[in-house]
């Protein structure tokens, strides 16, 4: 990838594996990407054999890279908006006396 957001090293019984990574803008999942693809190809390591390649995904509403599960959902729900909604609900409940 040209400018990865992160770097993942997988250590286990087999040889060490290294991947570029990006973070899903909706659920904060770490996504492994194929080097040199600018996050247009996601990698899913398999127990045996080479990693499975899937076409990458991007949310056209918030313009962030998203995992395939969030892309299939088809709704733009950025992580920060969900956190702000949770904080607002807590404030509302606190003001209403529901929370001590």
Q: Encode pLDDT of 36-67 as tens digits.
A: 787 788 888 777 777 888 999 999 999 999 99
Dihedral sign of CA atoms 36, 38, 41, 46 in order: positive
Q: What is the pLDDT of residues 7-39, one digit of tens each?
A: 788 787 677 778 888 999 999 999 988 887 877
Query: Within 10 Å of residue 76's Cβ, how many Cβ atoms?
Result: 16
What are the two backbone dihedrals, phi and then psi, of residue 92, each rounded to the nearest 5 degrees? Answer: -60, -45
CA torsion 78→83→84→85, rounded to 10°? 90
Look at residue 70 in the predicted model and tell me its pLDDT: 92
Please state the pTM of the whole predicted model.
Answer: 0.71
């Amino acid at each position: 990838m040209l400018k990865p957001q992160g770097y993942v090293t997988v250590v286990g019984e087999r040889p060490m594996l290294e991947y570029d990574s990006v973070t899903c803008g909706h659920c904060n999942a770490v996504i492994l990407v194929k080097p040199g693809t600018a996050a247009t190809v996601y990698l899913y390591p398999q127990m045996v054999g080479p990693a499975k390649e899937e076409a990458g995904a991007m949310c056209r509403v918030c313009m962030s890279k998203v995992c395939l599960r969030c892309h299939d959902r088809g709704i733009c729900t950025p992580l920060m908006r969900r956190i702000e909604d949770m904080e607002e609900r807590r404030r509302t409940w606190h003001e209403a006396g529901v929370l001590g």
